[in-house]
Structure 1
Amino acid sequence: MAPKPPKPLKLLKLLKSQKSLMSPKSRRGPAAAAVATLTLLGFAAWAGPGSDSARAGSHIDAPSAMLDPEINAGDLYAFTSPEAPDTVTLITTYQALSLPVNGVLPPTAFATRARYDLNIDSRGTGRPEVTYRWTFRDEGSREFLGVLNGPVESLSSPHLKFKQRYTLEELRPGKPAKVLIRDAVAAPSRAGAAGMPDYGRLRAEATLPLPGGGKVYTGQAADPFFNDAREMEILKSGTELPTPFSPLQGTNVTVMALQVPKKALALNGDPARNPVVGIWATAARETMNVQQGASGGPRYAQVSRVGNVIVNEALAPDNYLTPAAISRGMPLGVLGGVADQFNTWDAADDASNRQLIDMVTKLRGPKAFHATHPGMTAPPANPRKDMFELLMTGLSAKVRCPVGEGSSCPITQDLNSQVMNADADAGAFRPAEQLRLNMSTPVSAAPRKGGFLDGDPQGFPNGRRLTDDPTHVLVRVAMGEPGSKEYAPLFRFTTSGPPTELSRSFPYLAVPHGVF
C-alpha cells in the first residue's frame, strides 16, 4: 500500500534529512539516485503550490539543508600550497550539483544573514584556536529574468545587475575579531560564454591579498570532487555496482578558498614544533526567534558541518534506502535521524558523542562485501579502531582508541595527530571528527591516489588535495588496509574528476562550467 501524501509542513520536515542529494559526498548508484530523485519530485507534487517553506521543524530555528542549499556544506580540502610551501590552502565548497546558468535564471549565490566558518584546532581539544568567518550581503536583486545587461568583463561592469559583497574576519579566543577583508565583491556565478567571455579574468580580479600574507578567493568553481559511486556503495552497503557512476561531472559549487601562512595556523605560531592542525567547516543561519545573542545581535544556529569526506552520508546508520526508511515511505532517510543531526553537532562534544562514535566504528559495508567474496580474508570486526583513529584522532603511535577491547590503535604511523605537537597538552587531547593536516609533510612530487596506503604521506587522510580520492582510501581501510592489501586490486577504479583542468596557482580550482 502506497504511503499517504505528506502534508506540506511534514514535507519540509522530511526534506530536512535529504541534504546529501545535493552533496558531493553522495555516491549512490544509478538506481538509488533515480529513486531519490523521483521520490523528491513526488513529494513536491504532493505538497502542491503554496507549501510553507519558511521553516523546517527541528530543535534549531533554521531551514533544513535541503531547503537551504546555500549553506549546504559539501567538501573540505587542506594542503600545503605547491607554489608557496610556507602557506596552506584551505577550500570549502557549498551548493553541490549546481548546474550552469545562462544569465537568465537566478544566480547561484551565498546566503545572507548567515555565517560561514572555517575552524582550526591546533591543540586537539575539539575547539578552534582560530576561525575564519565569511558573511555576505546582496547588492542588487536576485531577479528571475536576468542578472546581466550585457557582457561582463570585470567585477565593476555595469552589466552585472547582481553582486554579492563579503567580509572576512579572523577570530581567536579572547581577542577582538580582526577584519581581513571588508565588503569585497565575490566572483559571480558564471553566466555562459556570451555573458562572461573571460571568467578567468573575473576570478583573478576576485582573488585578493590578505594582510600579513596569503590570499582569498570567494566565488564559483567547477566541483573538484573525484568520485565513483561504486566505491561509495561498497563502503556504505557492501554492494558492488556494475558500472561507473559519477553524478558530479559538469556541475559547479560555490567556494571559499583561503591561502594563509602556516604560522597563522600552528600552535604558538610555530609550525616546526607544532605542525598538525585539525580543520572543519560549519555554516550557521540567523535564528528566526526574537531573542538576541550575548552581544546584543542576532543568534545563530549551526545547520551544516563538514570535516572528513562522506562521514555523514556513508556512515550514518539511518541514511538512504534502509529497510526502515522504505517501510515508512521515506526512502531518502529517516526523519530526524543521525544523518540529520550530524550537521548540528559541536566538534567539542565529539569525544562523548556515542552516536558519532558508533557511526565511525560500526560499519555495515565491509561485512556485506566480504559475504560476496567468501574466499578472501574477512575485514576487521566491529568496533573499528582503525576507522576511529583515521577520522577521530589522526594517525600517531601516541594516540589511544577507547573503543572495543584495550586502548591501543592498530595504525602506529606518526602522520597527522595533534598529539604530535610539542607544545600541546596531551592530557587535554579529545577525539573529534576533523580533517587533519601535518603541515611539515613535503609536497609530493608524484601524488598517489591511495595516499599513505600507497607510500604517499601527503595524501588523504593527511589533509586532502584536489586530486585525492578519499573515498578510495576509506574503502580500502574499511576492508583491512594497511594490515592486509588483499582487497586492493578490487578497487582499481578509474575515478573521474572534473572534466576541466585544475589551475597551477591559487585557488587551483577549475573555472566553473558555463553554458552558451
Structure 2
Amino acid sequence: MTAATLAAVPTAAEASSHREAPLISADPTVDNTDTYAFVSPDDPKSVTLVANWSPFQKPAGGPNFYPFATDAQYDIHVDNDGDAKPDITFRWTFTSSYRNPNTFLYNTGQVTSFNDPDLNFRQTYRLERIAGGKTTTLADKVPVAPSFVGNASMPDYLALRTSTLRTLPGGAKTFAGQADDPFFVDLRVFDLLYGANLSEVGKDTLAGFNVNSIVLQVPRSELALRRDEKRNPVIGVWSSTQRRGAALLGPTGGSGQRMSFGGWSQVSRLGSPLVNEVVVPVGQKDRFNASTPSTDAQFLKFVTDPELPKLIQAIYRIPAPAAPRRDLTAVFLTGVSKDNVGVDLNAHTLNADADRARIAPSEQLRLNMSIPPTAAPNRLGVLGGDKAGYPNGRRLGDDVLDISLQAVEGALLPNPPAAVAGLGDGVNGTDVRFRGWFPYVGLPTSGSN
C-alpha cells in the first residue's frame, strides 16, 4: 500500500480544525484551526505556544481582509497538574480603529510601519494572564500585524511584522497577526475519493491560504507546576474562543467595532489535532466545541472504539485494531507513559508534585518540557523516533495527519500490520518555510499572489 492510498479516507480530510463543526463553520473569525506547543528551538529554556484562527483566508480578500473579532476572548490554557482544568490562561482581546472612515480602503498608500498614516485599519490587543483567581495585564495596546494586502501596499512585510513583536518584562514574547497556514494536507478527498482513481493526491490544498496567529513564548518555569520545570516538566495545552451572548450593529463613530453585551459563551476549542474531525462524530462536534476538558468523559467511547479504523478496514482491508483502544486513550486523553504504552513521554503522572488522585483523562496537547529540541526534526515525531515531536506537544512541521492515521491504525501497538507505516496523504511539508526565530510562523501569502 502506498503512502497516498489512505489519503482517500473521508473522515480525515477536514484539516486539523478548519470548519470542523456545523456552527463554527459560519463564524470563521473565532474558529480555532490549530494549536501548537513546543520547546523553543533557539531558546530551550522557554516554550512557545501557537494558536491559529480564521481558516481559508484568500490573500486578496479585500477590502476588509481578516481582522480578529473585537467581541471575543481568544484564550490559550495550560493545565500543569493534570486535573483537566486550566491553571493558567493567557487571554487576548482586540480593539479596532480606522484613521479615516470615509474611504473604503484598508490602506490609503504604501505602508512601512504599523504607525504609518497610510494604514487606515488597525488593531491592537490586550494580553492578560489569569491564574489563581487573579487577572494580570501583561501588555496592552500592542499592535497586530495587518493583513498582507499586497507587495505594492506593503513592500517589506517582514519588517512590518517584526515591528509588531513585543518582549515583555520577564522575557516573554508575544505576537498576533496574519501568517501562512502552517497546517499541510491534501483535501481533495471530496472529489470522489481523490478522483475515484487516486489521481488527485500529494498536493497541499491549504497552500496559499493564511490564518490569524497568536504566538506566545514564555520561560518554562512560568508554566510548570509550582514553577519547578525539573520536578514537573509536563503541561497540557488547549485553546478556546468565547463570544458575547449578543451584539448590536450600528453607527460606530469610525471605531470599526460593534456593541456587544451579555454573558460569554465558548464557541470553539482545540487541543490535539484532528480529534473533533476524526474521533468525534458529527452529531457531537458542536457539543465538543462548547465543552471543557473536565467533561471529556462524555466522549470516551469515541476514543476507545473509534470509527475510522473500521472505515479503513472496509475500504482497504487493513484490520482494525481491537477495542478498547488503550493506546489512543494515551495519545488523546492521558499522555503516554509506562502505565499505558510502555514508555514514559508526556503524561501528567510524570510530574513529581502532581496529586495522582486528581489527574483526570481529558483531551489536551501534552508537552514534556524537559525533552530538548531536535537539531534535525523528523516530521513523524515520536513515530519517527523524535521524542520532541507530536504527540509530545506539536511543532509547526509535524505531519500530524500521517502520524494520526498511523496511530489510529495501531502504530503504537505491538506488531502492527506492515501497511500502517506507509499511511499518509502524500503531503509532507508546508509551502512556506517556517522561521528559525520567534514567532516562527511563516509569512502570509501576499494579496499580490
Distance 1:342 1:142 in 2: 39
The DSSP-based 3-state class of the residue aligned with 1:285 is strand
Alignment length, in residue pairs? 418
Partner of 1:341: 287
Query: For residues 179-235 of structure 1, what are the alpha-carbon distances to aligned partners after superposition, in whole Å with 9 as ceiling and x for unaligned?
Result: 1111111111110001111110111111100121120010010001122348999xx
Match of 1:288 among 246, 252, 266: 246
Letter of the structure 2 residue corresponding to residue 25 of structure 1: S
Mapping 1:70-469, distance limit 5 Å: 70-101=29-60, 104-140=62-98, 145-174=104-133, 176-229=134-187, 241-244=198-201, 245-288=203-246, 298-318=262-282, 337-350=283-296, 352-353=297-298, 356-374=299-317, 378-398=319-339, 409=340, 411-469=341-399
Distance 1:21 1:341 in 2: 20
The DSSP-based 3-state class of the residue aligned with 2:140 is strand
- Are residues 304 and 94 of structure 1, via their aligned partners in 2, closer, same or farther at CA, if it must alter by over 3 Å? same
Partner of 2:6: none
**In 1, are the aligned partners of 2:241 and 2:268 still within 8 Å (CA)?**
yes
Letter of the structure 2 residue corresponding to residue 498 of structure 1: T
Query: For residues 95-127 of structure 1, what are the alpha-carbon distances to aligned partners after superposition, in whole Å with 9 as ceiling and x for unaligned?
Result: 11011026x421201011211110000000011
Partner of 1:515: 447
The Cα of 1:145 is off from its aligned counterpart by 2.8
**In 2, are the aligned partners of 1:22 and 1:66 still within 8 Å (CA)?**
no
Match of 1:471 among 383, 389, 401: 401
**In 1, are the aligned partners of 2:15 and 2:274 still within 8 Å (CA)?**
no
Q: Structure 2, unaligned stretches of length 5 or more?
A: 1-11, 249-260
TM-score where L is the length of structure 1: 0.76
Distance 2:56 2:443 in 1: 15
Greater share of strand: 2
Query: For residues 259-304 of structure 1, what are the alpha-carbon distances to aligned partners after superposition, in whole Å with 9 as ceiling and x for unaligned?
Result: 00000000000100000000000100011299xxxxxx85211000
- Are residues 481 and 421 of structure 1, via their aligned partners in 2, closer, same or farther at CA, if it must alter by over 3 Å? same
Letter of the structure 1 residue corresponding to residue 333 of structure 2: M
The Cα of 1:250 is off from its aligned counterpart by 0.3
- Are residues 203 and 107 of structure 1, via their aligned partners in 2, closer, same or farther at CA, if it must alter by over 3 Å? same
Distance 1:144 1:266 in 2: 49
The DSSP-based 3-state class of the residue aligned with 1:288 is strand
Identical-pair percentage = 37
Match of 2:434 among 497, 502, 508: 502
The DSSP-based 3-state class of the residue aligned with 1:414 is coil
Distance 1:181 1:347 in 2: 28
Match of 2:17 among 19, 25, 42: 25
Higher relative contact order (CA 8 A, sep 6+): 2
The Cα of 1:240 is off from its aligned counterpart by 9.3
Superposed CA RMSD: 2.7
Letter of the structure 2 residue corresponding to residue 484 of structure 1: N
Distance 2:404 2:52 in 1: 20
Distance 2:59 2:163 in 1: 21
